[in-house]
C-alpha cells in the first residue's frame, strides 16, 4: 500500500512542476467561470428556480464545476491519453513486468494528479467566484467534508470509466473514435454544460442515473445541500456502487487484455 | 550437472496481423511466426549473448521470458515459474532493460525514480543504499541523480535505466540492446559493470545486441537466431568453425611480384604493389604458411588479421539462407 502512496505523491509532485500550465489553467477556468456565470444569470432570470436551483445555487454550480474541472478531468487531461499512448507504443511492457497492479498503479497516479489539481486549479477560481458573485456556499465544515468525500468518490468513478476506455486500446489500436464518444458523454452527462437537474422527464431521470453524474452533479449537489440526510447517504451509495461496479469491470478487462493481447513494438 | 535456470522447449510465438492486400481495401489476415520453435537452457549465473538480424525474434523472446507475452506454443520456465502465468511473482526476481524504452519517470529526477523502484520491489533500506551506491559509482551517475529524466542524454538515460533494473538484486537480467546509442566510453563502462554484476552477484544475464563487441567482451556462449529459429548455440570460438571463417595473412615483399602461388592451405586474395593478402581457414595454424612464404619470397614484413565476428555471422546467416532456399 505504501507503494501506491508513493506513486500518488510522485504524481502530485510531477503535476506541481508544470507551473505555467497550472497558471494558464487557472486563468482559463476563471474566465470561463465569468462567461458561464453571466449565461446562467441570464437563464435563471428568465426561468427562476430552473432545475430546482435558485440563482445563487446556480452560480455556485458554475464556480464549483470550474474548480473541479481539472481535477475530475471532465474535459480530458487525466491519465487516459497517457495510458493509451503507452499501450499503443508498447511502453506498457514496462508497467506489466513490474510486481505492481496496473489498475491500482494508475489509480494512485491519477488521484495524486487530482489532488494537486483540486488545490492548484480549484481554489483560485472558487475564491474569485465567491468574491465576485453571491454564492450559496455552506458554512458548516461537515458539509464541506461530505463534499470532499463525494469528490473523492466521483474521482474513483471517473477513473474507472476512463480506465475502461483506455484499455480498449489493446484491441483498437486507434483510440480516437472511442475517445471522442467518451469525451462527449462525459462532457454532457457529468453536468459540465448544464446541471442535469434542469432536464425534465425520463431523459433527465436517465441522465442522473448514469455514472458520469457521479463525477460532478452529485458532488455539487452535496455541497449545495440539496440532498442532505437520507439523501446524502443515497448520494454516497450511488457513487460508491458505480465506483465498485466499474472498477471491477476494469479489473476484468485488464485480466483479459494482459492475458490475450499483444504488446506492441520491438 | 548444473540445473537449468531458464528453459525453453519448442517455444513459439505467432502473431496474427491484418494487412492490406493489393489495391483492394479488403484486409487479409495472415500470421507472422516471430519465434518458431526455440529450445535452449541457460544455467544459473551464465551470461549469454542472444543475437540475430533485425526481426529475427529476439525482443519477442525476451518479452516471453518476462511474461508480458504468452507463447503460442511450447514450454517456457524461468526459475521453475511459467512467466506469463505468474508474471507478478516472477517480476520480483527479474530485471529488464529495453534499450529503446525507459523504465524511469520522465518528469522526475533520477533519484526519485529510484525511490519509486525501491517501493515497487520493497527493497530493504540498507540493501537499497548499498546497491544504489555501487551503481552510482560504477555507472558514473553521481552528477545525474538530481536531473529529471527528460533532460538526460540517451546514453545517460540508458545508464540510469541499467541501474534501475539492478536495485532489487534480480536473479536474472534481460538486456535488450543496452548499448544502443552509447559512446565508446559509456559502452566500456556499461560492459565493465555488467561483467562485475555477473561475476560478483552471480546474476544470470541474457544480452541482446547488434554490437558484437559486447558479445565478444562479455559472453562465452552465444546463441544466434534467424527467422525465429535458433541457428547456432555454443562458444564464441565455435562460431568461427561453423561460419567457415578465414584469417588473413598480409605480407609485404621487397618488390612487386606476381600473386604468391603454391602455398598449401592458403590462397592469394588480393595484390597491391608489393603487398599481398593470403586467406586461410581460421582453424588452421599460420606458422607453416608463414614459413612457406618466407622460404620462397623476399619477405620484409607481415601481419595477421583475425576474422571480424560480424563477417563470420553474416556468412553463417547467408549460408543459412542458401540452405533454406535449397529446401523446397
Ligand atoms: N506486435 C506485433 N505484431 C505483429 N508482428 C510482430 C509484433 N511484434 C513483432 N512482430 C514481428 O515478429 C518478428 C520478430 O520481431 P522482434 O521484435 O522479436 O525482432 P528482433 O529480433 O528484436 O529485431 P530487432 O533486432 O530489429 O530488434 C518481426 O518479423 C516482427 O515483424
Ligand atoms: Mg528487438
pLDDT in tens, B41-58: 999 999 999 999 899 999
pLDDT per residue over A180-238, tens digit each? 999 999 999 999 999 999 999 999 999 999 999 999 999 999 999 987 667 899 999 99
Please state, in angstroms and rounded to a whole number, the distance separating the CA atoms of residues A29 and A34: 9
A contacts of B120 (beta carbons < 8 Å) = 3, 98-100
State the average pLDDT over residues B207-227: 91
**pLDDT on residue B321:** 58
Nearest CA-CA distance, residue B70 and chain A, Å: 7
Q: Which of A10, A99, A259 shows the shortest C-beta gap to B88?
A: A99
State the average pLDDT over residues B297-302: 91
Q: For B16, which residue in chain A has the nearest alpha carbon?
A: A262
Q: Which of A14, A90, A260 shows the shortest C-beta gap to B107?
A: A14
Identify which of B219, B214, B206, B142 has the alpha carbon closest to the alpha carbon of residue B182: B214
The residues lining ligand 1, judged by C-beta closer than 6 Å to any ligand atom, are A 262, 264, 266; B 15, 17, 32, 34, 52, 54-60
- When the pLDDT of each residue in chain A is averaged and rounded to a whole number, the result is 92
CB distance from B18 to chain A under 8 Å?
no
* Of A114-128, A147-161, B8-22, minimum mean pLDDT range: B8-22
Q: Which of residues 112-141 of A touch B (CB under 8 A)?
A: none
Spell B163-188 as b/e; 16+ CB within 10 A means b: bbbbbbbbbbbbbbbbbeebeeebbe
Please judge whether A3 and B119 are an interchain contact, meaning their C-beta atoms are less than 8 angstroms apart. Answer: yes
Identify which of B245, B247, B239, B246 has the alpha carbon closest to the alpha carbon of residue B219: B239
Residue contacts between A and B (CB atoms, under 8 Å) = 65
**pLDDT on residue A67:** 96
Please state, in angstroms and rounded to a whole number, the distance separating the CA atoms of residues B53 and B61: 14
State the average pLDDT over residues B34-41: 94
Ligand 1 atom closest to residue B13's alpha carbon, by position in its atom list: 12
Beta strands, E only, chain B:
4-20, 27-43, 47-51, 73-78, 94-98, 172-176, 204-208, 221-226, 229-235, 246-253, 267-272, 275-281, 299-305
CB distance from A99 to chain B under 8 Å?
yes
Please judge whether A94 and B92 are an interchain contact, meaning their C-beta atoms are less than 8 angstroms apart. Answer: no
Nearest CA-CA distance, residue A108 and chain B, Å: 13
**pLDDT on residue B243:** 66
CB distance from B275 to chain A under 8 Å?
no
Q: Please say if the pLDDT value at position B320 is more than 70.
A: no
**pLDDT on residue B197:** 92
Q: For A101, which residue in chain B has the nearest alpha carbon?
A: B88
**pLDDT on residue A88:** 87
Identify which of B30, B37, B34, B36 has the alpha carbon closest to the alpha carbon of residue B16: B30
The larger pLDDT score, comparing residue A40 to residue A93, is at A40
Please write down the long-range contacts of B161-165, taking CB distance under 8 Å and 24 or more positions apart: B161/B97, B161/B102, B161/B103, B161/B104, B162/B97, B162/B135, B162/B190, B162/B193, B162/B194, B163/B114, B163/B132, B163/B135, B163/B136, B163/B139, B164/B103, B164/B104, B164/B113, B164/B114, B164/B117, B165/B95, B165/B96, B165/B97, B165/B103
Reported ipTM exceeds the 0.85 cut = no
The answer to whether B108 touches A13, Cβ cutoff 8 Å, is yes
- What is the best residue among B11, B15, B36 to mutate for testing ligand 1's pocket, by most ligand atoms within 8 Å of CB? B15
3-state secondary structure of A166: helix
A contacts of B98 (beta carbons < 8 Å) = 93-94
Domains of chain A, residue spans: 2-263
A229 Rama class: left (phi>0) / alpha (psi -120 to 50) / beta: left
Nearest CA-CA distance, residue B247 and chain A, Å: 35
pLDDT per residue over A157-167, tens digit each? 999 999 999 99
Please judge whether B108 and A13 are an interchain contact, meaning their C-beta atoms are less than 8 angstroms apart. Answer: yes
**pLDDT on residue B325:** 43
B contacts of A108 (beta carbons < 8 Å) = none
To test the contact with chain A by mutation, choose from B17, B120, B175, B208 the residue with the greatest count of A C-beta atoms within 10 A, namely: B120
3-state secondary structure of B56: coil
**pLDDT on residue B26:** 65
The answer to whether A222 touches A147, Cβ cutoff 8 Å, is yes
Q: Where are the alpha helices (DSSP H) in B35-183?
A: 58-66, 87-91, 110-121, 125-139, 154-166
The answer to whether B49 touches B191, Cβ cutoff 8 Å, is no
A contacts of B105 (beta carbons < 8 Å) = 10, 14
Q: Please say if the pLDDT value at position B65 is more than 70.
A: yes
State the average pLDDT over residues B124-139: 94
What are the residues whose beta carbons fall under 8 Å from the beta carbon of A173, sequence distance 6 or more?
A: A88, A264
pLDDT per residue over B151-207, tens digit each? 999 889 999 999 999 999 999 999 999 988 888 988 999 999 999 999 999 999 999
Q: Please say if the pLDDT value at position B1 is more than 50.
A: no
- When the pLDDT of each residue in chain B is averaged and rounded to a whole number, the result is 88
Q: Please say if the pLDDT value at position B84 is more than 60.
A: yes
* Of A35-39, B34-38, B240-244, B264-268, minimum mean pLDDT range: B240-244
Q: Residue B139: count other Cβ atoms within 10 Å of its Cβ.
A: 22
Work out the angle between the directed axes of helices B154-166 and B110-121 (0-180°, nearest 10): 20
Taking the alpha carbons at both ends of chain A, their separation in whole angstroms is: 33
Q: Where are the alpha helices (DSSP H) in B167-308?
A: 184-201, 212-218, 236-242, 287-296
Distance B4 CA to ligand 2 centre (A): 24
Please judge whether A94 and B116 are an interchain contact, meaning their C-beta atoms are less than 8 angstroms apart. Answer: no
Q: What's the CA angle centered on B205, arms B119 and B307, to 5 degrees?
A: 145
Q: What band does B40 get if pLDDT is binned at 50, 70 and 90? A: very high
Ligand in closest contact with the CA of B56: 1
Please state, in angstroms and rounded to a whole number, the distance separating the CA atoms of residues A210 and B257: 93
A contacts of B100 (beta carbons < 8 Å) = 265-266
Q: Which amino acid residue places its CA nearest to atom 24 of ligand 1?
A: B54
Cell of B158: 540508458
Distance B59 CA to ligand 1 centre (A): 7
Q: Which amino acid residue places its CA nearest to atom 3 of ligand 1?
A: B15
Ligand in closest contact with the CA of B225: 1
The answer to whether B69 touches B43, Cβ cutoff 8 Å, is no
**pLDDT on residue B77:** 95
**pLDDT on residue B213:** 87
pLDDT per residue over A58-116, tens digit each? 999 999 999 999 999 998 878 999 999 888 888 888 888 888 899 999 999 999 999 99
Q: For B104, which residue in chain A has the nearest alpha carbon?
A: A94
**pLDDT on residue A91:** 87
Nearest CA-CA distance, residue A47 and chain B, Å: 49
Please judge whether A93 and B63 are an interchain contact, meaning their C-beta atoms are less than 8 angstroms apart. Answer: yes
* Of A169-173, A192-196, B93-97, minimum mean pLDDT range: A169-173
**pLDDT on residue A258:** 79
Q: Please say if the pLDDT value at position B328 is more than 60.
A: no
DSSP character at residue B21: -
To test the contact with chain B by mutation, choose from A10, A86, A99, A264 the residue with the greatest count of B C-beta atoms within 10 A, namely: A99
Amino acid at each position: 500500500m505504501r507503494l501506491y502512496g508513493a506513486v500518488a505523491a510522485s504524481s502530485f509532485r510531477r503535476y506541481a512542476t508544470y507551473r505555467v500550465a497550472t497558471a494558464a489553467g487557472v486563468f482559463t477556468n476563471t474566465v470561463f467561470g465569468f462567461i458561464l456565470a453571466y449565461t446562467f444569470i441570464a437563464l435563471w432570470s428568465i426561468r427562476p428556480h430552473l432545475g430546482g436551483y435558485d440563482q445563487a445555487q446556480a452560480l455556485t454550480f458554475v464556480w464549483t464545476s470550474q474548480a473541479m474541472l481539472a481535477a475530475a478531468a471532465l474535459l480530458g487531461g487525466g491519465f487516459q491519453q497517457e495510458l493509451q499512448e503507452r499501450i499503443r507504443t508498447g511502453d506498457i511492457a514496462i508497467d506489466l513486468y513490474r510486481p505492481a497492479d496496473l489498475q491500482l498503479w494508475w489509480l494512485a497516479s491519477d488521484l495524486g494528479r487530482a489532488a494537486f489539481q483540486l488545490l492548484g486549479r480549484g481554489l483560485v477560481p472558487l475564491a474569485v467566484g465567491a468574491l465576485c458573485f453571491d454564492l450559496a456556499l455552506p458554512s458548516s465544515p461537515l458539509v464541506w467534508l461530505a463534499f470532499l468525500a463525494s469528490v473523492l468518490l466521483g474521482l474513483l468513478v471517473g477513473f474507472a470509466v476512463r480506465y475502461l476506455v483506455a484499455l480498449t486500446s489493446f484491441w483498437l489500436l486507434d483510440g480516437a473514435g472511442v475517445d471522442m464518444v467518451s469525451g462527449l458523454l462525459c462532457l454532457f452527462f457529468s453536468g459540465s454544460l448544464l446541471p442535469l437537474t434542469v432536464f425534465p422527464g425520463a431523459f433527465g431521470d436517465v441522465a442522473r442515473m448514469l455514472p458520469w453524474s457521479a463525477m460532478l452533479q452529485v458532488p455539487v449537489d452535496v455541497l449545495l445541500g440539496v440532498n442532505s440526510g437520507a439523501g446524502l447517504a443515497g448520494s454516497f451509495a450511488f457513487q460508491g456502487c458505480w465506483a465498485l461496479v466499474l472498477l471491477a469491470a476494469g479489473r476484468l478487462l485488464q485480466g483479459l487484455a494482459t492475458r490475450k493481447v499483444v504488446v506492441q513494438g520491438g | 550437472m548444473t540445473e537449468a535456470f531458464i528453459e525453453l522447449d519448442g517455444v513459439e510465438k505467432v502473431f496474427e496481423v491484418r494487412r492490406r492486400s493489393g489495391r483492394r481495401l479488403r484486409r487479409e489476415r495472415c500470421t507472422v511466426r516471430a519465434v518458431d520453435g526455440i529450445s535452449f537452457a541457460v544455467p544459473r549465473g551464465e551470461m549469454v549473448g542472444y543475437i540475430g538480424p533485425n526481426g529475427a525474434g529476439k525482443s519477442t523472446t525476451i518479452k516471453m521470458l518476462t511474461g508480458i507475452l504468452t507463447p503460442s506454443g511450447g514450454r517456457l520456465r524461468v526459475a521453475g515459474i511459467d512467466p506469463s502465468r505468474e508474471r507478478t511473482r516472477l517480476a520480483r526476481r527479474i530485471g529488464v532493460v529495453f534499450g529503446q524504452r525507459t523504465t524511469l519517470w520522465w518528469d522526475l529526477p533520477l533519484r526519485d525514480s529510484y525511490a519509486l523502484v525501491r517501493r515497487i520491489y520493497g527493497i530493504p533500506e540498507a540493501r537499497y543504499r548499498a546497491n544504489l551506491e555501487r551503481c552510482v559509482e560504477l555507472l558514473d551517475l553521481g552528477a545525474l541523480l538530481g536531473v529529471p529524466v527528460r533532460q538526460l542524454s540517451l546514453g545517460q538515460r540508458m545508464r540510469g535505466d541499467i541501474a534501475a533494473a539492478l536495485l532489487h538484486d534480480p536473479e536474472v537480467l534481460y538486456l535488450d540492446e543496452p548499448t544502443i546509442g552509447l559512446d565508446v566510453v559509456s559502452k566500456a563502462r556499461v560492459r565493465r559493470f555488467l561483467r562485475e554484476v555477473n561475476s560478483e552477484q552471480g546474476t544470470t544475464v541474457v544480452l541482446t545486441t547488434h554490437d558484437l563487441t559486447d558479445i565478444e567482451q562479455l559472453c562465452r556462449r552465444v546463441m544466434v537466431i534467424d527467422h525465429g529459429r535458433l541457428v547456432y548455440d555454443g562458444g564464441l570460438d565455435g562460431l568461427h568453425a561453423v561460419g567457415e571463417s578465414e584469417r588473413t595473412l598480409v605480407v609485404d615483399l621487397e618488390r612487386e611480384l606476381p600473386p604468391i602461388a603454391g602455398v598449401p592451405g592458403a590462397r592469394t586474395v588480393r595484390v597491391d604493389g608489393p603487398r599481398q593478402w593470403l586467406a586461410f581457414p581460421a582453424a588452421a595454424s599460420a606458422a607453416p604458411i608463414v614459413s612457406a612464404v618466407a622460404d620462397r619470397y623476399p619477405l620484409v614484413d607481415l601481419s595477421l588479421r583475425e576474422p571480424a565476428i560480424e563477417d563470420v555471422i553474416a556468412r553463417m546467416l547467408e549460408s543459412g539462407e542458401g540452405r533454406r532456399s535449397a529446401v523446397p
